[in-house]
Structure 1
Amino acid sequence: MKGIIFAILAGGFITLQGVANTSISNGIGTWQAATITQFTGFIVALLVMLSIGDRSWMGFKQVKPIYLVGGAFAAFVIFTNVKSIQLSSVTIAIAAVLIAQLTTAFIIEGKGWFEVAKQRMRMPQFLGLALMIIGVLILTF
């Protein structure tokens, strides 16, 4: 249940971030908005980490180097999210993002990539994805 609560919070924060970044981008540019967002995110994460006194980050040498660049994807997430909101709408953009996330997750779990436990995707999962796509098409027209 906690996982679902965190997922709901994440969805809300992603939407709020997208709207805020679009407003910033309209004033100063998309890559500038991404820079400000990444920087403020770094500051907040650093302050939270320091305030809770969690020293487990010091074990980063045990993490495979390829995974240490995962945060770099955030710059492209911000840029593409802002552009999608600017060119469509918040609702359509977020719906399309969710479909892309779900499709990517299906592929990662189906193949067992990135040390994720391999899962067999069945008809209900594919049906759920198809319904989401139909929902976006309905929202679009």
Structure 2
Amino acid sequence: MMIGILFAIVAGSFVSLQNIFNSKVNEKVGSWSTTTFVLGLGFLASLTMGVLFEGKRFFLLQNMEPWYWLSGLIGVGVVSCLVQGIRLLGPTYAISIVLISQLVFALLLDSMGWLGLERIPLTPSQLIGALFIVCGIMVFKLVGKKEHQEAVNLS
């Protein structure tokens, strides 16, 4: 379990870094160029690592549901929407909304057992925990906005 937690922490760090890098690239070249650049480099890196670590097994893709192939298209939506969200809202606010959205959809998908997931009933403690996270993000953003406004008024 600890290794899973560590991977999740590293993934969260990588997502934050990638979003900052993506927004900087977007400032220079535009949204679709950024999406193409990011996903193209991701493709090359994944292909290289897959071949290095899995060899010929990397290319064995049988027994997959046809709709699994849509994840690449979803990735285009993720990158392009995040780039625009960060451009319009700033990194902290955009990522806060993304976190809330991820949490709500993960709870929904788990509790309904959609997309081939094992159905995990939604418990009151999970719902309370999710609400605490949402409230924490809202407090973080609202208090930060108030403090920022006070700092601007003082200067």
Deviations 1:29-75 (A, max 9, x none): 01110010000000000111111234333331210110012121111
Structure-2 residue corresponding to 1:80: 81
- How far is 1:21 from its partner? 0.4
Gaps of 5+ in 2: 143-155
Supply the distance in 1 between the matched residues of 2:114 and 2:78 (Cα, whole angstroms).
Answer: 20
CA offsets 1:61-105 (integer angstroms, 9 cap, x no match): 210110012121111101111112112222222221111111111
- Give the corresponding residue for 1:46: 47
Matches within 5 A, 1:45-124: 45-124=46-125
8 Å CA contact 1:18–1:81 kept in 2: the answer is: yes
Check the 8 A contact 1:22/1:86 in 2, yes or no: yes
Residue 41 of structure 2 corresponds to residue 34 of structure 1: no
State the TM-score, normalized to the length of structure 2.
Answer: 0.85
Q: Is the 8 A contact 1:106 1:121 kept in 2?
A: yes
1:112–1:119 Cα contact (<8 Å) kept: yes
Q: Distance in 1 between matches of 2:42 and 2:59?
A: 20
Identity %: 28
SS of 2:77's partner is: helix
Q: Which residue of 2 aligns with 1:24?
A: 25
- The higher-RCO structure (CA 8 Å, 6+ apart) is 1
Contact preservation (8 Å) 1:112, 1:118 = yes
Question: Runs of 4 or more off by more than 2 Å in structure 1?
Answer: 53-59
Judging changes above 3 Å, is the alpha-carbon distance between structure 1 residues 4 and 55 closer, same or farther for their aligned structure 2 residues?
A: farther
Instruction: Work out whether residues 92 and 139 of structure 1, in 8 Å CA contact, stay in contact via their aligned partners in 2.
Output: no
Q: Could you tell me whether the CA contact under 8 Å between 1:24 and 1:33 is conserved in 2?
A: yes
Of structures 1 and 2, the larger Rg is shown by: 2
